[in-house]
């Protein structure tokens, strides 16, 4: 009896997962094809062959569907990074590859990504890159930037080393924010930003080991830890 019930529940939740997946895939496809705002909940439901109420049964709001979109971009970034970083051992090369592959996987969505950031920057929003809901995606992204360092031959100040992955991730968030507002053809300015800023970061990391700059590095790091 109990066994049967569990089996029924298991099958039911499998069906539920499939429906959930169907909604996400349809939504993301329509976002891609028509943009975020022009894709209505009614259109998503209709294209998926479901009722609007059913979509809201699985996702409390349209914003929550964006979260799933992030996850897909995240996966694409990870895949592209894994392939492209294979042979690179220099920190400066690995960081450039990490950022450029990130920009590349986002490229197709530049037209409407601006609509997403609206909800992402709002304090308390589940779509915020700093939110609890975003933790899984954030952890994966942080792991990527940890691998940028760990796979490289760079020497890093011991104290900086612990926080560097997070700092690189933050700078990648900054690049993303710039990219959103970058209206140059093919977002060429963002690529230029990466090409030029990455060597600067590389030099700063190296400089931070100098006696002259050590105090200010320590202070900046202490402040960062205090306020994050």
Residues that bind a second copy in the complex, under the rule CB under 8 A: 114-115, 117-119, 121-124, 128, 130, 177-178, 180-181, 183, 189, 192-193, 196-197, 200, 203-204, 207, 212-213, 216, 219-220, 223, 226-227
- Chosen from DNA, a second copy, none, partner binding at 123 (C-beta under 5 to 8 Å by type): a second copy
Q: Are 172 and 99 in contact (CB under 8 A)?
A: yes
Q: Closest approach of Cβ 108 to DNA, in Å? A: 21
| Helix (H) or strand (E) segment spanning residue 158 | helix 158-181
Residue 118: which of DNA, a second copy, none does it interact with, CB under 5 to 8 A by kind?
A: a second copy
Round to whole Å and give the CA distance between 188 and 181: 12
Q: Is the Cβ of residue 37 or residue 75 nearer to a second copy in the bound state?
A: 37
40 versus 89: smaller Cβ distance to DNA: 40
Task: Count CA atoms closer than 13 A to 90's CA, side-chain side.
Answer: 8
18: helix, coil or strand?
helix
The distance of closest approach from Cβ of residue 200 to a second copy in the complex, given in angstroms and rounded to an integer, is: 6
Q: 9 touches which of DNA, a second copy, none (CB within 5 to 8 A by kind)?
A: DNA
In whole angstroms, how close is the CB of 123 to a second copy at the nearest point? 4
Tell me the three state secondary structure of residue 197: helix
Query: What are the CB-based long-range contacts (under 8 Å, 24+) for 212-219?
Result: 214/157, 217/157, 217/159, 217/160, 218/159
| Min dist. Cβ of residue 181 to a second copy (A) | 5
Minimum gap (Å) between residue 159 Cβ and a second copy: 16
What is the crossing angle of helices 135-150 and 62-84, to 10°?
20
Tell me which of DNA, a second copy, none is bound by residue 203, counting a contact when its beta carbon lies within the kind-specific cut-off of 5 to 8 angstroms.
a second copy
CB of 179 to DNA, least distance (A): 24
Of 213, 218, 212, 174, the closest CA to residue 193 belongs to 174
Residue 108's H or E segment, with its range, is none
Per CB under 7 A, residues contacting DNA are 9, 12-13, 15-16, 18-19, 37-42, 49-54, 56-58, 60-63
Write the CA distances from 136 to 94, 113, 161, 181, integer angstroms: 23, 20, 22, 26
In the list DNA, a second copy, none, the entry touching 186 (Cβ below 5 to 8 angstroms by class) is none
Instruction: In whole angstroms, give the CA distance from residue 187 to residue 138.
Output: 24
C-beta closer to DNA: residue 54 or 128: 54
């Amino acid at each position: 009896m109990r066994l049967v019930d569990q089996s029924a529940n298991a099958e039911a939740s499998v069906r539920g997962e499939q429906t959930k997946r169907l909604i996400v895939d349809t939504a993301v496809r329509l976002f891609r094809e028509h943009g975020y705002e022009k894709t209505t909940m009614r259109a998503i439901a209709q294209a998926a062959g479901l009722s609007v109420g059913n979509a809201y049964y699985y996702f409390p709001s349209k914003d929550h569907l964006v979260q799933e979109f992030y996850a897909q971009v995240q996966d694409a970034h990870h895949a592209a990074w894994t392939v492209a970083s294979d042979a690179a051992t220099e920190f400066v090369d690995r960081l450039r590859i990490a950022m450029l592959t990130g920009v590349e996987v986002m490229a197709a969505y530049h037209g409407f990504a601006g609509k997403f950031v609206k909800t992402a920057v709002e304090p308390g929003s589940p779509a915020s890159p700093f939110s609890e809901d975003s933790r899984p995606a954030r952890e994966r992204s942080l792991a990527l930037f940890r691998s940028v360092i760990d796979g490289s031959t760079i020497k890093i100040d011991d104290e900086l080393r612990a926080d560097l992955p997070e700092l690189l991730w933050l700078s990648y968030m900054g690049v993303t924010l710039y990219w959103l507002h970058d209206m140059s053809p093919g977002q060429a300015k963002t690529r230029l930003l990466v090409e030029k800023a990455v060597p600067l970061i590389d030099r700063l990391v190296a400089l931070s080991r100098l006696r002259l700059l050590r105090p200010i590095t320590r202070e900046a790091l202490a402040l960062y830890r205090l306020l994050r």
